A = this chain, B = another copy of it.
Amino acid sequence: MLRLRRNFHLSRHPLLFKPFSTAAPLPPLHLPLSHPTYILWGSNTSVGKTLVSAGLASSFLHSDSPSNFLYLKPIQTGFPSDSDSRFVFHKLSSLYRRRHARLSLLASDHVLNASLPVLNSITGCGDGSELAMCELGQYEEQRLVGEESGLGSRLICKTMYAWKEAVSPHLAAERESGVVDDALVIQSLQSCLNSGLGVNGESEGAETRAMCLVETAGGVASPGPSGSLQCDLYRSFRLPCLLVGDGRLGGISGTISAYETLKLRGYDVAAIIFADNGLENEVVLSSHLRDRVPILVLPPIPADITDDLMDWFDNSQNVFDSLKEIMLSAYSKRLNRLREMPKKAKSIFWWPFTQHKLVADEAVTVIDSRCGENFTVFKDQGDEFMTQQFDACASWWTQGPDAALQTELASDMGYAAARFGHVMFPENVYEPALECAELLLAGVGKGWASRVYFSDNGSTAIEIALKMAFRKFSIDHGIHDAQECNADAQRSELMVLALNGSYHGDTLGAMEAQAPSCYTGFLQQPWYTGRGIFLDPPTVYMHGGKWYLSLPVGLQPETLRLENAFFDSRDEVFDEKRDGSDLAEIYSAYLSQQLSNSSKSNSLLGALIMEPVIQGAGGMHMVDPLFQRVLVKECQDKKIPVIFDEVFTGFWRLGTETAAELLHCVPDIACFAKLMTGGIIPLSATLASNSVFESFIGDSKLEALLHGHSYSAHALGCTAAAKSIKWFKNSQTNLNINAEGTSLRELWDENLVYEISSHPAVKRVVALGTLFALELQADGSNAGYASLYARSLLLKLREDGIYTRPLGNVIYLMCGPCTKPDSCSQLLIKLLGGLDDFISESRENLESYHS
């Protein structure tokens, strides 16, 4: 799995090396799909989950061919008097004997871990002072001989963790000092799911049918031992579900609510089953679920607790047979769909930014779900399984939620859709839009913005910003008086001032504001002309642990002293004291000259537009913040409205809520999107100062800003944004943020960043906020956007559980504002390993590397 860094880095820089965080990485999720695995939930406690488990096991094992059934009970309280796995084990054995099976059966029950009180009550001894859980290893088995000897079936029952008191697991765990944290439960469960059917060293015959059932404790939202709700605890597996409903009075409500709780966690429910109570609950349930989920009704459970239930199981057998068939069929259907997805996708999707001819079937990633920062991905490598990949593209720069925020947002999306669906915006007000606008003005717009204009994505936010800026500029500079509709005779040619390497979106208006690039050629957009003066910006990058300044040709006077050419730390780069430096003067002089040059032409510079600090799509370049600050000042002095495109940089992407904070200056207009909603739903906002807004006030509607989209300020988007904005900056919910809610802690381990920046395969590195980017050393066609140079490295990283997609020879890792620094370190360690492999593969590089 994890490959360790090669030691040479350590030996080369012994003084600088400090041990980095080495929290043992969890083994990546691996869920076998060779047989059906289901998780069994109850709509309440005491609705008969274990009866269903036993009945299902019986139906599955009562077969003419060898079959293995794995029953797992991760959490058991009330032990040893209550033991669901022992119940299944015993009942199955009785049923098997009673029914004269053809095949032999080896049945076992195994209790792996238990609390100390359990241990004491069983062994009668134990040291009362010990805390935490003990290995119990209580095992019993029975061999039941069928009519035929030879290869038999197996029933494997396991209880993973047991506590003594018959209360909710979180209470039992607490009272018995036996709390097990969520990660350990998940890890143990994964281990049982993977090895459980291969216990005792017997290899599974190819013809052996197998099924696995995980039975939860209590209801769907009952807490596990740590207090996390079980529906959240097991979410990363997203196993297909069975729900045991409630046939009693009130049971319709409980069953529907439990079903909704599962759906609201992204689970699929294959069937609902419950015991009849003569109330025909199935009628309303079927009608409400519109027959999408099969509903099975078992005979009433005998009230007499001394009943051995043998007759009940016999009477229920046809229902359990149906349930088994439904489960097998849902399993095949799902697997077939997963298998066909890459081919189908390739035949009907038209992916953006993708040359379809270059996409192999096996290169298509089948994403079954996501949980927090991780994709769950279907893999077919001989055996089929689900695994996890860290979404290091942050789903294309939008993604923010950890698993907890994702659950919150899911609930909020359901709520917003139910409360509002969508309601149109103009001249209306509704809570999510108002709250979102208030939060934006109190946050990213604080101190300068007074109005919020909502639209759909970064590109439209930019087009709106340009319209705002041009109107403001026109009025300030007396370019026109109020014009009649369609009077285009007096048109002036307005241009933007922008930086080379900038990117503002793919709609024509946004493209016109960016410099020519491979996105803008005739092949791509025959209407592009490039309506701007585009300046080469000075950039800053890290290499070998130092931050270097790279000046464009036009900005390299001999007068520049050498000590300006690099910085000892990133903080120095952002230091406002640089305003008094020679370089600041050089920038200022250069920009004044550029602005006066441009004013001689026919066209007018009507707006400055730029991405503060980091140019994203242009290749993750950090522009010298001093240069941008001087530029903003020069423009504002000349009453040229300044637009900050914070679509990529906004909302903690760079470690502060806005990148403007890093620049220490404010714009007149700013655009936000992507992370604003937590990254789960499109919404954008263009914020403007009051004086910009005022330039659209007049007596006629024709003077208003006549740009809009149907879903402006849509309720779902605003709801997601309001939740995420608050979540990210609250230190109660985001452990990465400081108490004042003003900046993220450092997420990328300093030493690892240093290591990577010194790697021979690496030309430059930028690490800031949630972004880590590197440019591979590459020449000629290996460099640039269309380069496939990094392909082998990416495949390696994906194998290693990191989903990345490069910008040519630029590779980046992007996490969310809440991602644990430990996870980031794991990413960097894997990246280092990948770079080592990458360079070994390239002979020429290898030679220079050894020299």
Contact = CB atoms under 8 A, between A and B. Distances in A.
A476 to B, nearest CB: 14
A353 B470 contact: no
Contacts of A527: 466, 494, 509, 512, 531
A220 B509 contact: no
Nearest to A441: B348
A342 B266 CA distance: 37
Interface string A481-521: 01111111011101000000000011111101000111111
A355 interface: yes
B348 A453 contact: no
A293 interface: no
Contacts of A673: 710
Interface stretch (A102-110, A199-207, A394-402, A562-570): A394-402
Interface string A370-398: 10000100000000000000010101111
Contacts of A494: 526-527
Interface stretch (A25-33, A55-63, A255-263, A537-545): A255-263
B516 A488 contact: yes
Nearest to A524: B706
Interface stretch (A9-17, A360-368, A657-665, A822-830): A360-368
A349 B506 contact: no
A279 B467 CA distance: 61
A805 B480 CA distance: 31
Contacts of A253: 44-45, 218-222, 229, 258, 261
Contact of A458 (B258, B410, B710, B717): B710
Q: For chain A, which range describes its interface: under 10, 10 to 19, 20 to 34, or 35 or more residues?
A: 35 or more
Contacts of A426: 351-354, 805
Contacts of A485: 517-518, 521, 786
A503 to B, nearest CB: 11
Contacts of A682: 456, 682, 709-711, 714, 717
A209 interface: no
A631 interface: no
Contacts of A453: 350, 352
Interface stretch (A67-75, A414-422, A622-630): A414-422
B219 A429 contact: no
Contacts of A456: 456-457, 460, 682
Residue in A358, A420, A424 whose Cβ sees the most chain B Cβ within 10 Å: A424
A249 interface: yes
Interface in A407-449: 407, 409-411, 413-431, 433-434, 437-438, 441
B45 A697 contact: no
B368 A430 contact: yes
A521 B487 contact: yes
A9 to B, nearest CB: 32
A521 B707 CA distance: 12
Given A367-B430, A427-B351, A786 B459 contact: no
B410 A418 contact: yes
A508 B415 contact: no
Contact of A606 (B283, B349, B431, B526): B526
B458 A427 contact: no
A248 to B, nearest CB: 8
Contacts of A714: 680-682
A653 interface: no
A702 B703 CA distance: 41
Residue in A364, A393, A606, A681 whose Cβ sees the most chain B Cβ within 10 Å: A681
A428 to B, nearest CB: 5
Interface in A25-67: 43-46
A358 B702 CA distance: 12
A557 to B, nearest CB: 29
A800 interface: no
Nearest to A409: B417
A72 to B, nearest CB: 20
A843 interface: no
Contacts of A705: 350, 352-353, 524
A463 interface: yes
Contacts of A424: 391, 393, 395-396, 805
Interface stretch (A145-153, A165-173, A572-580, A833-841): A165-173
A253 B487 CA distance: 66
A701 interface: yes
A398 B263 CA distance: 26
Given A406-B417, A460-B459, A512-B527, A702 B279 contact: no
Given A352-B707, A415-B410, A706-B518, A508 B463 contact: yes
Contacts of A164: none
A491 B703 CA distance: 35
A428 B364 contact: yes
A459 B709 contact: yes
Contacts of A367: 420, 423, 428-430
A688 interface: yes
A257 B251 CA distance: 13
B707 A506 contact: yes
Given A167-B249, A252-B223, A485-B517, A353 B708 contact: yes
A75 to B, nearest CB: 13
A450 interface: yes
A522 interface: yes
Nearest to A528: B488
A506 B421 contact: no
Nearest to A484: B521
A674 B714 CA distance: 12
Given A356-B704, A463-B507, A518-B702, 18 more contacts: A218-B249, A266-B418, A341-B434, A345-B428, A345-B433, A348-B441, A348-B451, A349-B452, A350-B452, A352-B706, A365-B427, A366-B429, A409-B417, A413-B417, A459-B460, A482-B523, A492-B526, A508-B512
8 contacts: A220-B257, A227-B283, A264-B418, A353-B705, A366-B429, A480-B523, A674-B710, A680-B714
The 8 A-B pairs at the shortest CB distance, nearest first, are namely A352-B708, A219-B253, A414-B414, A266-B419, A45-B250, A508-B509, A266-B418, A345-B429
